[in-house]
A = this chain, B = another copy of it.
Amino acid sequence: MIRRLSQARERGIPEATVARLPLYLRALNGMAERGLATVSSEDLAVAAGVNSAKLRKDLSHLGSYGTRGVGYDVEYLIYQISRELGLTQDWAVAIVGVGNLGRALANYGGFVSRGFRVAALLDADPEVVGDHIAGLNVEHIDELEAVIKRRGVSIVVLATPAAAAQQVADRVIAAGVTSILNFAPVVLAVPEGVDIRKVDLSIELQILAFHEQRKTDRMTGGPAMAEEWPEAVDL
């Protein structure tokens, strides 16, 4: 029988909460560095840029780690969030595609600091295979399955051209990887049980452009008047 912990810590933390935990963690680390021992939900919420009720509800999903009238113990909360996110273990990450972006990712400091270790760099271009980047030797894509197995890679970052992404994804999934961070501008088709997260630089800019256009429209006059589409009426 499983020992019942302090309280209702069911399996199943809301996705929206999971996405904010790293934010809280970062804020807490800053506070720990500045020597704060405890922090209130209000202060932590401000530091993380969210509302304090939301923060408390988020933390309540992990357990009851605060003290009423006092706040949260910074170190203890850091430990709890880290453990929940799985950052107390070390994750081997492989980056496939060593173009400009892949290189930037390989050199990005934010990974190492959080339990992530870039364990391999792979590329199809014989020109870059053999290069040394961020202390790693770039290996040929043919080695993909072997490298994943040998180094215990469990997360793969795709920084390949769009055309190659699906086929690389298929291979890493066949090799047993179930977590992929995709920077290629394509919608990947993956089987049930594989987690994909997508980062798309151009989409982010397009969303900004939409709002920017709205703002300047509002300045200059009526909505959607200046650039009327003439053939719209005939539809």
Contacts and interface: CB of A to CB of B under 8 A. Distances in A.
Given A19-B203, A178-B215, A155 B85 contact: no
Interface residues of A, number: 84
Interface string A191-211: 001010101111111111111
Given A155-B212, A211-B179, A222 B108 contact: no
A223 interface: yes
Interface of A: 2, 5-6, 9, 11, 18-19, 21-23, 25-27, 47-49, 63-65, 76, 79-80, 83-89, 91, 93, 99-101, 103-105, 107-108, 110-111, 113-116, 154-155, 157, 178-181, 185, 187, 189, 193, 195, 197, 199-215, 222-225, 227, 229, 232-233, 235
Given A47-B187, A179-B212, A211-B179, A201 B199 contact: yes
A195 B210 CA distance: 11
